Structure 1
Amino acid sequence: MTVLRNPVLRGFAPDPSLIRVGDWYYVATSSFEWFPTIPLHRSRDLAHWEYAGHVQRAVPGNSLAGVPDSGGVWAPALSWDGERFWVTYTVVRSVGTPYFDLDTYVSTADAVGGEWSAPRRVPSHGFDPALFHEDGRLWLLNLQNDHRPGGERFAGIVVTELDRDTLEPVGDTRLLLQHDRLVEGPKLLRREGWYYLVLAEGGTGWEHGVRVARAKELTGPYELDALPLLTTRDDPGLPLQKAGHGELVETPDGQWLLGHLTARPLHTARGRRCTLGRETAIQAVTWDADGWPRLRHGGWHPAVEVDVPTTPHPLPPAGGSAHPLPPADRPTRHLPPGDQPTHPLPPADRLAHHLPPADRPAGLSWPWSTLREPPDPSWADTTVRPGWIRLRGRHGPESRWAASLLAQRVTEHRAEAEVTVEARPVTFTQAAGLVLWYNPEAYLSLDLTWAEPWGEPQRGQQWRGPAGGGGRTVLSLVERDEEGLRQVAVVDVAADAPVTLGVTVEGADARFWYLRDGARTAVGPALDFSRLSDDHGSRLRFTGAMAGVHARDLVDAAFTADFTGFRLVCTPD
């Protein structure tokens, strides 16, 4: 047996779809507005997970330009039909409106880390779809949305048979189940003559859970289990919260597992805040005498430590990843607590063989992520200056179209990031630096930029850079929330030398600093990192805090900044 510690995928790894193929377990997670789209991880022992690629070009046109924050790619469902991998998912283009304005797609691959087929659109009733394979037939499950005034946004679970080759509907869509509590994210399995419908219940926040229904026929009628399989809604003190969105998987020796999302909240004076976003966890499951699944340890609360069966076989299954994973020095964030890695910038093309060339400029593969488009040498170049990455400034940080930002997931409540930047800003419209990011209404940034000479008022563009004798090169610390952008501190620095920037996160506090004469020097007071969470503000938010680098040039899109030595160290409690 192996003891896993939840979450097994830590920091912004929501809506997991867990499957087994031979001796390998695979997980696909939501990516929302971020690239790479649909990250994929794999494991043999369920405790140690490694990045295995992503579903490249999951978005037609390879762009999510204009998609709202927390829109984009929602809840992929991974499956295996005995010959190839399948994934279905939804691209959501409206958030917080009666209309989701979405498209559901299906893609396939012979190897999970290989080339995925061009996505094909299928009936798009709602988000969080899944596929069910049985006796050569293919079924698409989804929720339906009634957008009309007085309608239910979560109006029941539906199923549509698809032709396996054309993906065209076969017959009519059928209603499987309606429930007085919100249900979504259906997954279907067959066991001992029953069809089991595994449902996300209660929404993806504090009321989240997993509920199971069953029927003798695929198309119903379905009866709901009287008890939840998993939830934390009744105990806000548990270390793992928001438990829900589950999928049942059988091990090679006939045991059962539940993959699900969860979150680790900070308990602050302003309430519970999940700065790390929603993460992936696994529970052991048994079946009671009446044929319902139950958590092996009893009750319905998730366990932090779980004994799971160990599969020692060294070879991948037939049809498994054709791309070998990198050697032991690869960057991996999912090691046991106490062995967290450091990620230099650039990461020397590590794991590059998992990404097709069109999706990976040299050195910018996982764990790097970008907003609404994959990285491109036109704005993120690792070849101009060996050992450095050059960002070309484009739109401001709140753009939904062309933000020059590279970021990595913050995976623990204690973290530290630093980077050295060299740039020559000559106007306040140019800036580059270190950022803690959630979305355009929640970020903290320490930037190298330009400011007027001392004593001169801020009156718009001065058109005089430091080289011309006008203005100063400064570090500007800003914080952004739903009430607007505020400058917290300004520090003068040399105009002609690189500067090392850093930030230390301890729970809800983020303290920025820079190196002056080799010593860390604080910039401004501690800032509220807990605003960078799903739970701050009134709008729907579904991702997680990131740390990274960015650059902007609001006038010419020509200003460049060079970065080196990026590291992000996340330390478990």
Structure 2
Amino acid sequence: MNDVIHNPILAGFNPDPSICRVGDDYYLATSTFEWYPGVQIHHSRDLANWTLVTRPLNRASQLDMRGNPDSCGIWAPCLSYADGLFWLVYTDMKRYEGNFKDGHNYVVTAPRIEGPWSDPVYLNSSGFDPSLFHDTDGRKWLINLQWDYRQHEGRDRFGGIVLQQYDPEQRRLVGDINNIFAGTELKLTEGSHLYRRDGWYHLLVAEGGTGYQHAVTMARSKTLTGPYEVHPNNPLLTSRDDPENPLQRAGHADLVDSPEGDTYLVHLCSRPLTGTRLSPMGRETAIQRVEWGEDGWLRLADEGNVPALEVAMSGVTQKLPAHAEHYDFKSATLPDAFQWLRTPYPERLFSLTERPGYLRLFGRESVGSWFEQALVARRQDSIHCSAETTLTFEPEDIQQFAGLIAYYNRFKFHYLAVTLNDAGDKVLSIISCLDDWPNGNLSIAEQGIRIEPDATIRLGLDIHARELRFRYAQGGEAWQPIGPALDAGLLSDEGSGRAHGYFTGTFLGMAAHDISGRGTPADFQAFCYRRAPLSETR
């Protein structure tokens, strides 16, 4: 694709983008929630082609999410560069549901994007979505949503954007706290960033919630603490009035200027399955070209306020992703595509050296555990895709199972697992959790397919839009289908009984569970992920 950027630029679960430029290099940070290590940072030279360069929160002194509920953990990082350092601020959310939010905000720094990244400096816990603004006079300011736990008719618990100075020498916030922006009639004001241009302070916020009413709002003021006047054509960006747009839930944005002086906006979006409001790939990152008008306000270059699927950019060639990605686990380190859940102690979950050429998972707590779960997976980033793995596993009883999993959270997954039946035979089972409230609705379908002791088995899954089907093969035999068509749409923010959903996306990977506590290992020889041709997914 020449002279055009096709959205999204980061496919699959990559929400809440924050972008900065250093020279000719662009860096883009996105939320990772309960997946470890924390924060994804991608690099690009052209805004079209991006490569993962680091996940900076990668040790216990920086991040420990054991016990964090689903969709808690790392919310909305903000990445900036000043004074020869990269600055990353973020929330570690410890409680999501109910009137209260327990989220703690921190800052880490690094001289290079690859690190080493510092241990965190605690900032505050007054609300989430922190952002660090480096003013032209050298002072630094933290802004974040202030959470108001009270709830009654007419009250918005999103209590406005608060500002306080950060002193890097004292390594703490100092001075008065000012509530600088209460938001607009769209409400749910969050995801704030500050910029200074032509004598104005410009405030960019997300509003309307991260669902299908999501939007980007702008306001400006001559003074840092306000008052801020709202953009005359608010909202700047939204899909809320265009339900047929392939990019839905557009919001939560950040701005960057190119070396040539052009301005671009990166923003959150999702691509629901055709005819539904189900987004198994979660919230992704897209880009739009924007322009500053003669009146000093920012607007989309294509006019209006709806996101474009394609953005013109002369001289750029956007590379297509590889059709297939194969991992043979011959390295002593986990391939970059994979993450695990919550814990900073991955040696408790897996090893790439105990059996060279294999990923060995140690069976830990149950599927969906918030503490220690041996599940290693990668993002689904294509509407039509497949995954395969090769497993050697010798369970000793029904409490031990391992296999191939499509996982969203503790109440939304499909799992093709090797285990034992009551007769002591090694068999295949399909374990699905069909809803997330109130009881999980676990479905277990034992297929009666026996597997010989000490035998290697291949496990596969195929996703075609909303349909997921498992398959298997013993030894060198041909693939055989197993079980019924399953609902892949369930594995999405919207695919549940919950009114407000969650915030991540579908992961495909390998898992081992041993709820007896004996830590029985499962060895995975390889993992392959295949995407459908691009013409079939867009």
**Which TM class, normalised by the smaller chain length?**
over 0.9
Query: What corresponds to 1:322 in structure 2?
Result: none
Aligned equivalent of 1:173, options 171, 177, 194: 177
**1:507-522 matches, cutoff 5 A:** 507-516=465-474, 518-522=477-481
For 2:307 and 2:20, the matched residues in 1 are separated by: 19
Amino acid of the structure 2 residue aligned with 1:30: S
Query: What corresponds to 1:298 in structure 2?
Result: 303
For 1:190 and 1:223, the matched residues in 2 are separated by: 15
For 2:168 and 2:490, the matched residues in 1 are separated by: 45
For 2:241 and 2:327, the matched residues in 1 are separated by: 42
Amino acid of the structure 1 residue aligned with 2:79: L
In structure 2, relative to structure 1, the CA distance for the partners of 1:309 and 1:174 (3 Å cut) is farther
Answer with 515-524 or 203-212: which moved more.
515-524
For 2:508 and 2:106, the matched residues in 1 are separated by: 30
In structure 2, relative to structure 1, the CA distance for the partners of 1:62 and 1:131 (3 Å cut) is closer
In the alignment, is the contact (CA less than 8 A) between 2:122 and 2:172 conserved in 1? no
For 1:62 and 1:218, the matched residues in 2 are separated by: 32
Quote the offset at 1:489 in angstroms: 4.2
Query: What corresponds to 1:325 in structure 2?
Result: none
For 1:22 and 1:58, the matched residues in 2 are separated by: 29
SS, match of residue 15 in structure 2: coil
The reply on whether 1:380 has 2:345 as its aligned counterpart is no
Amino acid of the structure 2 residue aligned with 1:533: S
Amino acid of the structure 2 residue aligned with 1:204: T
**1:447-458 matches, cutoff 5 A:** 447-453=417-423
Quote the offset at 1:306 in angstroms: 1.0
Answer with 40-49 or 486-495: which moved more.
486-495
In the alignment, is the contact (CA less than 8 A) between 1:132 and 1:189 conserved in 2? yes
The reply on whether 1:147 has 2:141 as its aligned counterpart is no
For 1:301 and 1:308, the matched residues in 2 are separated by: 18
The reply on whether 1:257 has 2:285 as its aligned counterpart is no
In the alignment, is the contact (CA less than 8 A) between 2:288 and 2:308 conserved in 1? yes
For 2:17 and 2:74, the matched residues in 1 are separated by: 13
The reply on whether 1:160 has 2:160 as its aligned counterpart is no
In the alignment, is the contact (CA less than 8 A) between 2:121 and 2:172 conserved in 1? no
In structure 2, relative to structure 1, the CA distance for the partners of 1:8 and 1:167 (3 Å cut) is same
User: 1:59-84 CA deviation, whole Å, 9 max, x = no partner?
Assistant: 64642111000001100000111411
Query: What corresponds to 1:53 in structure 2?
Result: 54
In structure 2, relative to structure 1, the CA distance for the partners of 1:61 and 1:245 (3 Å cut) is closer
Quote the offset at 1:254 in angstroms: 0.8
The reply on whether 1:229 has 2:233 as its aligned counterpart is no
Quote the offset at 1:182 in angstroms: 1.9
In the alignment, is the contact (CA less than 8 A) between 1:59 and 1:119 conserved in 2? no
Give me the CA root mean square deviation.
1.8
In the alignment, is the contact (CA less than 8 A) between 1:183 and 1:201 conserved in 2? yes
For 1:242 and 1:394, the matched residues in 2 are separated by: 36
For 2:323 and 2:264, the matched residues in 1 are separated by: 26
In the alignment, is the contact (CA less than 8 A) between 2:58 and 2:344 conserved in 1? no
Quote the offset at 1:311 in angstroms: 8.9
The reply on whether 1:528 has 2:487 as its aligned counterpart is yes
In the alignment, is the contact (CA less than 8 A) between 1:512 and 1:522 conserved in 2? yes
Amino acid of the structure 2 residue aligned with 1:137: R
Query: What corresponds to 1:31 in structure 2?
Result: 32
Answer with 395-404 or 144-153: which moved more.
144-153
Query: What corresponds to 1:6 in structure 2?
Result: 7
SS, match of residue 75 in structure 2: strand
Quote the offset at 1:365 in angstroms: 3.9
Quote the offset at 1:375 in angstroms: 5.8
Quote the offset at 1:374 in angstroms: 4.0
SS, match of residue 366 in structure 2: coil
Amino acid of the structure 1 residue aligned with 2:167: D
**1:90-129 matches, cutoff 5 A:** 90-129=91-130
Quote the offset at 1:376 in angstroms: 2.5
In the alignment, is the contact (CA less than 8 A) between 1:344 and 1:565 conserved in 2? yes
For 2:231 and 2:223, the matched residues in 1 are separated by: 16
**1:413-428 matches, cutoff 5 A:** 413-428=383-398
User: 1:155-212 CA deviation, whole Å, 9 max, x = no partner?
Assistant: 1111001112223222101111112322111101011111100010111111111010
Quote the offset at 1:102 in angstroms: 1.2
Query: What corresponds to 1:283 in structure 2?
Result: 288
Answer with 490-499 or 1-10: which moved more.
1-10
SS, match of residue 20 in structure 1: strand
The reply on whether 1:272 has 2:281 as its aligned counterpart is no
Quote the offset at 1:565 in angstroms: 1.8
Query: What corresponds to 1:477 in structure 2?
Result: 430
**1:203-352 matches, cutoff 5 A:** 203-227=209-233, 228-268=235-275, 271-308=276-313, 336-337=319-320, 339-346=322-329, 348-349=330-331
Amino acid of the structure 2 residue aligned with 1:243: A
In structure 2, relative to structure 1, the CA distance for the partners of 1:146 and 1:338 (3 Å cut) is closer
For 1:504 and 1:61, the matched residues in 2 are separated by: 37
Quote the offset at 1:57 in angstroms: 4.0
Amino acid of the structure 2 residue aligned with 1:220: G
SS, match of residue 377 in structure 1: helix
Alignment length, in residue pairs?
Answer: 519
The reply on whether 1:370 has 2:340 as its aligned counterpart is yes
SS, match of residue 273 in structure 1: coil
Query: What corresponds to 1:357 in structure 2?
Result: none
Quote the offset at 1:96 in angstroms: 1.6
For 1:442 and 1:60, the matched residues in 2 are separated by: 31
In the alignment, is the contact (CA less than 8 A) between 1:13 and 1:279 conserved in 2? yes
**1:54-69 matches, cutoff 5 A:** 54-57=55-58, 60=61, 62-69=63-70
Q: Equivalent pairs: percent with the same residue?
A: 41
Amino acid of the structure 1 residue aligned with 2:311: V
Q: Which one has a larger percent strand, Structure 1 or Structure 2? A: 2
| Structure 1: gaps spanning 5 or more residues | 313-334, 350-361, 454-470
Provide the TM-score with structure 2 as the length reference: 0.93
Quote the offset at 1:547 in angstroms: 0.3
In the alignment, is the contact (CA less than 8 A) between 2:48 and 2:316 conserved in 1? no
For 2:120 and 2:524, the matched residues in 1 are separated by: 35
In structure 2, relative to structure 1, the CA distance for the partners of 1:167 and 1:340 (3 Å cut) is farther
For 2:269 and 2:207, the matched residues in 1 are separated by: 13
The reply on whether 1:569 has 2:514 as its aligned counterpart is no
For 2:202 and 2:415, the matched residues in 1 are separated by: 48
Answer with 180-189 or 372-381: which moved more.
372-381
Quote the offset at 1:58 in angstroms: 7.2
In the alignment, is the contact (CA less than 8 A) between 1:20 and 1:26 conserved in 2? yes
Quote the offset at 1:140 in angstroms: 0.2
Quote the offset at 1:556 in angstroms: 3.3
Query: What corresponds to 2:464 in structure 1?
Result: 506
In the alignment, is the contact (CA less than 8 A) between 1:96 and 1:540 conserved in 2? no
User: 1:92-128 CA deviation, whole Å, 9 max, x = no partner?
Assistant: 1111221111110011100111111100111222101
